[in-house]
Amino acid sequence: MIDEETARERVVSAADRLFYARGVQAVGMDAVRGESGVSLKRIYALFPSKEDLIIAVLRHRTERWNTGIAGAVDGAGTPRERLLAVFDFLAGWFREDDFRGCAFINVFGELGGGSDRVAEAVREQKESFRRHVAELVRAAGGPDHLAPQLVLLAEGAQTTAAISGDPGTAEHARAAADTLIRCALGGDGEPAAA
């Protein structure tokens, strides 16, 4: 028998794949059982309700998102490049075979109005991303208004790429972000010397 942590990881990973591919409402717990190889009894011992499992999947997605963004940003050099690295991360993600848009937006669209816990988990992730971009803007010496503009471009790019099926959306959003950054920071996108 597998230990609790392994069972939990298998269930969350399986549910994440299924929810992302098919939608939360279309996936029953039997499908999660089949995909994970964990019995329904064990699944319900770990997650007393489907909503509990959805929240666990959203937390898992948040960790993956944060790790991906941090990896892209950490690999960039200048403050301007660090801001644009967010859009480089999106460009790679949009080209993945299983890309179906933002899981948070998708789940919110399905359940946000009917589940306060799901809505709160989605809002927490979006706020965390906003704070991260705001930190990058501050580190670049940019004005406060730049962060929500860049976040809006990133969020809009995710939705547009999912609907249009065009991964090039990330490059368009990156070009728009570059223009905003140059306007906010100066022509070269770096803070002006004092």
* Domains along the chain with CATH numbers: 1-48 (1.10.10), 50-185 (1.10.357.10)
Amino acid 192: pLDDT: 45
pLDDT value at 125 more than 50: yes
The model's pTM is 0.89
SS3 category, 58: helix
Percent of the chain clearing pLDDT 90 (strictly above): 90
CB atoms within 10 A of CB 81: 16
Q: Answer for the pair 55, 46: CB distance below 8 angstroms, yes or no.
A: no
Q: Give 128-150 pLDDT, tens digit per residue.
A: 999 999 999 999 999 999 999 99
Q: Answer for the pair 79, 139: CB distance below 8 angstroms, yes or no.
A: yes
Name the pLDDT band for 88 (thresholds 50, 70, 90): very high
Q: Answer for the pair 149, 180: CB distance below 8 angstroms, yes or no.
A: yes
